[in-house]
Amino acid sequence: MTTRSGTHAIRSEQDVVLSRQAVRKLAIECGLRLVDQTKLVTAVSELARNTVIYGGGGDMDWELVEDGGRKGVRLVFRDEGPGIPDIKQAMTDGWTSGNGLGLGLTGAKRLVDQFDIQSAPGEGTRVTITKWN
70-79: strand order across its sheet: 2-10, 58-67, 70-79, 125-132, 114-119
pLDDT at residue number 85: 86
Comparing CA positions, the residue from 4, 89, 8, 86 lying closest to residue 47 is: 8
DSSP code string of the chain: -EEEEEEEEE-SHHHHHHHHHHHHHHHHHTT--HHHHHHHHHHHHHHHHHHHHTTSSEEEEEEEEEETTEEEEEEEEEE-SS--S-HHHHTSTT--SSSS-S-HHHHHHHHSSEEEEEE-TTS-EEEEEEEE-
3 Cβ contact list (under 8 Å, min separation 6): 63, 64, 65, 66
pLDDT at residue number 96: 65
CATH number at residue 122: 3.30.565.10
Number of structural domains, the chain?
1
C-alpha–C-alpha distance, residues 73 and 2, integer Å: 10
How far apart, in Å, do the first and last CA atoms of the chain sit? 15
Domain coverage including residue 74: 2-132
pLDDT at residue number 92: 79
pLDDT tens for 20-56 read 999 999 999 999 999 999 999 999 999 999 999 999 9
pLDDT at residue number 91: 84
pLDDT tens for 84-130 read 888 888 887 766 666 554 467 888 999 999 999 999 899 999 999 99
